[in-house]
């Protein structure tokens, strides 16, 4: 069984979060939502599968299906 989902963390974040890979979408979504809940929503553009810093778009978090990258 392979890890098919990732939460990719790009740039500098005020939280201690890192890129992680997961075996299931539900585990990846849980980690992504945990990050999202800790953030001030006025400072980020938040969608179902991404979080992007309003002031610096190089600071971003993405929920990624690794199977779709192949």
Domain range list for the chain: 5-69
Residue 8: C-alpha distances to residues 22, 35 (Å)? 11, 11
Dump pLDDT digits (tens) for 17-68.
999 999 999 999 999 999 999 999 999 999 999 999 999 999 999 999 999 9
- pLDDT score at 32: 98
Asked whether residue 70 carries a pLDDT value surpassing 80, the answer given is no
pTM attached to this predicted model: 0.90
* Kind of pairing between the strands at 5-10 and 50-53: unpaired
Note whether 14 and 38 are within 8 A (CB).
Answer: no
Asked whether residue 13 carries a pLDDT value surpassing 90, the answer given is no
Q: Which residue has the tokens 């309003």?
A: 54
Note whether 8 and 61 are within 8 A (CB).
Answer: yes
């Amino acid at each position: 069984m392979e890890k098919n989902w990732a939460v990719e963390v790009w740039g500098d974040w005020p939280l201690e979060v890192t890129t992680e890979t997961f075996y299931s979408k539900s585990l990846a979504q849980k980690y992504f939502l945990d990050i999202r809940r800790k953030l001030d929503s006025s400072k980020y553009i938040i969608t179902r599968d991404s979080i992007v810093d309003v002031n610096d778009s190089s600071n971003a978090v993405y929920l990624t299906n690794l199977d779709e990258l192949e």
